[in-house]
Structure 1
Amino acid sequence: MELSSLYVTVIEPSKVQRQIIKGHLNSFGIEQIEEFKEARPALNHMLASPPDIVLSSMHLPDMTGTDLVTQMRRLEALQNITFLLVSSETHYRYLEPIRQAGAIAILPKPFSREEMGFALRSTLDYITDFESENDNDDYEALNVLIVDDSSLSRKYIQQMLESLSIHSIKTAEDGSQALELLDQGERFDLIITDYNMPNIDGKELTEHIRTYSEQPTVPILMMTSEQNESRLAAIQNAGVSALCSKPLSYNTVKQLIEQLVTDF
């Protein structure tokens, strides 16, 4: 599959911005592009003709990009479609739900052709792996635990793992539930956990696993949208094997898992 074969839906109120986005897409050979000014007509069209990727602005006339991706994740026909936000928005209140719902990238306005190219190639690899009938013998025996208080995020991560032929997956809503599974004797080859969670967060979970659990060396991949340098340093010091920023890039997650599994 090539970039030129991608079918893209663009949702952007500004005609000028739509033309800019289309120009970048055309530069990669992508010609199958549907344009919309509002989200609801786009949703109706996507249900009849699902695209490979949705590029949407944050602030739309009829809803926000957050509302849009949340609705998509609740519809069976659209829940696996990759979502790319194009926005100058920086407020945590708007961006965090997008990250939790599994946006493949958040591109700033203005964005470069290189930034879009990275997001498109990550999308292409995700689609190729998701549709591939070939099992990955390196990963299919892995037993993985996903820990995240967002059900949308857990589902998105699980879909990523299944694209890598990882099917032995258990989930926990926070660090407390994860520790219950570990205390029950569950053994995992990899733990993927969010940082910000109620009850027991990712840092506390990591510290407990490294200090008190029966599998203190299990690889732990931590996901976070945290920007504070001192907090990031504290996460690293807790003993995480790798730190991954949200929104999750499929290629980045794939490379990190390969690295962690090989090292382990």
Structure 2
Amino acid sequence: MKKTILVVDDFASIRQFVCETLERKGYDTLGATNGTEAYTILSQNLSQVNLVLTDYNMPDCTGFELLKKIKGNPETSNVPVVFLTTESNPDKMRSAKEAGLAAWIKKPYRAESFFAQIENAIVNG
């Protein structure tokens, strides 16, 4: 069965690129422009979404706020969340790990490690 990844980024070009990259690897994708929209999409497609791949720095609802919403709700808390971001602040990284983040992938990323971390997060939650 195909795995579905919810891709969240406020830049349409980045979101499109990441979705196309994942689709070429055999994943289905859903897209959202910010954390608020992503949380709504996740709630409506809970049985389908296997992973949330989100940017950290976004207007309206950041990736960290989205992570806390997902992990704070028993219905969504088992969905793994991975950050794909240029953000590299160690305190933010530590806070995200403590909040339940599955992986932190820095942009620009190398394809092989990107897919390895995605797959690991899906398998291990």
TM-score, length-normalised on structure 1? 0.44
Q: Structure 1 runs of 4+ off > 3 angstroms?
A: none
Question: 1:212 — aligned with what?
Answer: 73
Deviations 1:163-184 (A, max 9, x none): 2111x21100000101111333
Alignment of 1:7-86 (within 5 A): none
Deviations 1:230-264 (A, max 9, x none): 12212222211011001122111111122123324
Aligned alpha-carbon RMSD (Å): 1.6
Partners of 1:180 and 1:141 in 2: CA distance: 22
Question: 1:176 — aligned with what?
Answer: 36
Partners of 2:98 and 2:81 in 1: CA distance: 13
Deviations 1:21-57 (A, max 9, x none): xxxxxxxxxxxxxxxxxxxxxxxxxxxxxxxxxxxxx
Q: Is the 8 A contact 2:9 2:32 kept in 1?
A: yes
Q: Is the 8 A contact 1:144 1:190 kept in 2?
A: yes
> Deviation of residue 213 (structure 1)?
5.2
Structure whose CA Rg is larger: 1
Partners of 2:105 and 2:85 in 1: CA distance: 6
Question: 1:149 — aligned with what?
Answer: 10
Partners of 2:74 and 2:107 in 1: CA distance: 27
Give the aligned residue type for 2:113. Answer: T
Partners of 1:248 and 1:193 in 2: CA distance: 14
> Deviation of residue 185 (structure 1)?
4.5
Q: Is the 8 A contact 1:160 1:250 kept in 2?
A: no
Please list every run of 5 or more consecutive structure 2 residues that lacks an aligned counterpart in the other structure: none
With a CA cutoff of 8 Å and minimum separation of 6, indicate the structure with the bigger relative contact order: 2
> Deviation of residue 189 (structure 1)?
0.6
Partners of 1:241 and 1:215 in 2: CA distance: 14
Q: Is the 8 A contact 1:194 1:222 kept in 2?
A: yes
TM-score, length-normalised on structure 2? 0.89
Aligned residues: 124
Please list every run of 5 or more consecutive structure 1 residues that lacks an aligned counterpart in the other structure: 1-139
Partners of 2:121 and 2:99 in 1: CA distance: 17
Partners of 1:201 and 1:232 in 2: CA distance: 14
